[in-house]
Structure 1
Amino acid sequence: MKKPLIIAGVLLFSFSVISCDKLEKVKAKLSQNDTSQVNPFSVNSGDTNRDIISFNNKVVKMDDEQSDFIKDFQSILIQMEDYVKNADANPQFSGVVPIFTPSVMMYTRQELKAPDVLGKDFQALVDKMKDTMIQLESLKKELDTYKQAEDWKDDKGKKVAEINEKAIKLIKKNRTAANDLFIRLSPKANKAEIEVLKDHPLKTQIIQSREIMELAQKIIDDSYDVTDMNAYQNKFSQQYLQMEKLYNRNISEKIPSSEKQKESSYQAFNNSVNDFLGKMRIVQRSLNEGNQELNRNLDNLEREAGYVLDRYNTFVD
């Protein structure tokens, strides 16, 4: 089964449980109808719906960036702990020292202000997400220095355990803040999106495509939270049938001639969904056979879900 993302075997909660659900933070379509009274470059443009959707989009990008950083840091901590244990037990151990990938924190470092219409509580949650992430980045640099100096030869891994403990607390604070933020923001963003789309010529295609994209993300989220394999297998089968139904509905919906420039991106999105269905069939076979390829096949499915999300964003942009 797909392994929950944990820190060095110590973190007791699944990352997917505390991570803000991607279903709650999809990228919404910005209004294309500007007026002389609206300043689209301002946090408070004068268009409430535009301001909420714009803020939502920026937070989504920041959260995706932070989630990727956390997963990478968790993986490094696990690898580092294993390496130090093996090196301490066997002085002749010749395993590969964990490689630290460069941190890319573009959105976290950018100024991000909540529009006045949302209030100060939203800004406080954004600031907490950014502050905890900066502290986590500092911990990663500290761990890198520890690795480069080979200090585990002196402290037998004590520093790794200390960094791990600090990281657990910071990650929990970061994910809790993100979850709280999207619980509050999602209803407002969804309402704003509906208002923006009410007269849009591609309203049906966008709403239907969003439903597909959300289901793909939920399928992945569910793979991280399995306690009963039989129940999960049945659920996965039902999700496949649901996805296939939504896909067939989408491909039957044509792009109007007035929006022909969107035809290729709509087709690309539908193609990515078809590929996702193919990967689902592979996972289904692994579940039915109980073979050892299940984890790898779920990884491939998760990667395909990322393509579905990317193609959706390209379509609605």
Structure 2
Amino acid sequence: MKRSIIIAGMLFLSFSVTSCDKLEKMKEKLSQTDTKQVNPFSVNSGDANRDIISFNNKVVKMDDAQSDFIKNFQNSLIQMEEFVKKATDNHQFSGISPIFTPSIMMYSHQELKAPDVLGKEFQGWVDTMKDTTTQLENLKKELETYKEAEDWKDDKGKKVTEITEKAKKLIQENRTAATELFAKLSPRADKAEIEILKDHPLKTQILQSRETMELAQKIIDDSYDVTDMNAYKNKFSQQYQQMEKLYNRNINEKIPSSEKQKESSYQAFNNSVNDFLGKMRIVQRSLNENNQELNNNLDDLEREAGYILDRYNTFVD
């Protein structure tokens, strides 16, 4: 399941609304020896809510990068296994070996320290996620070397099986660590967000938009876990009604005149939700008609969900 970045840039709200002069004065104060002074550039800033949210957002980016890599690696293993099987079963087989898609690991190996307010167990989960990903990357390199050297012609796919078994264990360890981390982190991050937004003039719009964004992400996550097509059709229909309700609620919540600078980004977010609803209607028709375009339509829907997340972050930044 994809987790959400909480209020993005607004975790620095007290600084984003100040002038450059005020920010410089703030930095001057940070250089003083007063231990009670909040330092927004530190993992342990002195503001527990800020530290929890900052850590949550970094972990979300890392988890997304690792999840994408794992999905990419699993596809590579499946493709290689199928290719080797066809080639060994039929000596006349002349198919082209799989072309593996490069993985972008921008956030996967970032330096990431858990703030003291959360405790040491969070650092343990982060370290496990990073270590298992490194091992999985090494396994993928082994697979790529195996493919390029055409070693499958000698071992008839034995190496692919070995790499797959090792990968399964590491992936399980990685996902277990991520699940345990977010099970403990998400409630605390949600509570910290509410506290930070307590007196914010856009509190309602931000929290409602976040709920809408998270539903879009859940709809995409659910599309990867379909075992009963009839049950999924019903669920998708219910999710459409829920999304439409949240969209209507959002467009009826106007931006106050004191925050007019946020009106365009709020409108852009709502427009992306409306576009998402349009893609959902296309998916719904494909489901009802058992259309062969269903997978392509779901891919389009996933892209729209990405736009919703991007525009949500722009709105709250």
TM, length-normalised to structure 1:
0.89
2:110 aligned with 1:110? yes
With 29-38 and 179-188 compared, the bigger mean Cα shift is at: 29-38
311 and 94 in structure 1: CA distance in 2 versus 1, 3 angstrom threshold: farther
2:108 aligned with 1:127? no
> For 2:5, which of 26, 47, 68 is the aligned residue?
26
Structure 1 partner of 2:245 = 245
93 and 279 in structure 1: CA distance in 2 versus 1, 3 angstrom threshold: same
Please list the CA deviations of residues 84-123 of structure 1 after superposition, one character each: whole Å capped at 9, or x if unmatched.
1122223343323222333332322221100000000000
In the TM superposition, residue 77 of structure 1 has moved relative to its aligned partner by 0.7
**Matches for 1:1-317 after TM superposition, within 5 Å:** 21-22=1-2, 24-28=3-7, 29-33=10-14, 36=29, 37-317=37-317
Contact 1:25 1:186 in 2 (8 A): no
In the TM superposition, residue 164 of structure 1 has moved relative to its aligned partner by 0.5
Amino acid at match of 1:56: N
Amino acid at match of 2:13: Q
Identity percentage of aligned residues: 80
Amino acid at match of 1:308: I
d(CA) in 2 for partners of 1:270, 1:281: 17
Amino acid at match of 1:198: K
d(CA) in 2 for partners of 1:27, 1:66: 19
With 170-179 and 32-41 compared, the bigger mean Cα shift is at: 32-41
d(CA) in 1 for partners of 2:229, 2:13: 46
Contact 1:280 1:301 in 2 (8 A): yes
276 and 82 in structure 1: CA distance in 2 versus 1, 3 angstrom threshold: same
d(CA) in 2 for partners of 1:165, 1:267: 48
d(CA) in 2 for partners of 1:197, 1:47: 14
**Moved beyond 6 Å, runs of 4+:** none
3-state SS of the aligned residue for 1:33? Answer: helix
Contact 2:72 2:103 in 1 (8 A): no
In the TM superposition, residue 196 of structure 1 has moved relative to its aligned partner by 0.5
Amino acid at match of 2:289: E
With 254-263 and 160-169 compared, the bigger mean Cα shift is at: 254-263
d(CA) in 1 for partners of 2:267, 2:84: 50
Structure ranking higher on relative contact order (CA contacts 8 Å, 6+ apart): 1
d(CA) in 2 for partners of 1:218, 1:227: 16
d(CA) in 2 for partners of 1:103, 1:287: 31
Structure 2 partner of 1:14 = none
d(CA) in 2 for partners of 1:32, 1:310: 19
With 41-50 and 96-105 compared, the bigger mean Cα shift is at: 96-105
Structure 1 partner of 2:22 = none
Amino acid at match of 2:203: K
In the TM superposition, residue 230 of structure 1 has moved relative to its aligned partner by 2.4
d(CA) in 1 for partners of 2:68, 2:232: 26
TM, length-normalised to structure 2:
0.89
Contact 2:62 2:109 in 1 (8 A): no
Q: How many residues align?
A: 296
Q: Which runs of 5+ in 2 are unaligned?
A: 16-25, 30-36
With 165-174 and 261-270 compared, the bigger mean Cα shift is at: 261-270
